[in-house]
Amino acid sequence: MPLDALDLVRDALVETLILAAPILGAGLLVGLLVSIGQAVTQIQEQTLSFVPKIAAMIVVAVILMGWIAERLADFAVEMFST
């Protein structure tokens, strides 16, 4: 049974969410921790939370690079084989 264009788009979006979730989760966790630290110390600098979030997201992306590449390759093979 051939897949419709909507099914292909849905599969691509689901795969994107799966791949982005760990990276975004790390940014969310670090942002939450920095916000709690800012609230406790009463430091209200907006740019203070930006650098740790970006750094954590880059570290997680580098650590998961192999897994992300493998998932993308499997997804591409699946898309081109149907």
pLDDT digit string (tens) for 57-69? Answer: 999 999 999 999 9
**Alpha-carbon span 51 to 61, nearest angstrom:** 15
- 8/75 Cα distance (integer angstroms): 11
33: amino acid identity, one letter: L
Task: Supply the pTM of this predicted model.
Answer: 0.82
* Ranges of each domain in the chain: 5-81
pLDDT tens readout for residues 3-33: 688 888 999 999 999 999 999 999 999 999 9
Q: Return all residues near 61 (Cβ < 8 A) that are at least 6 apart.
A: 23, 68
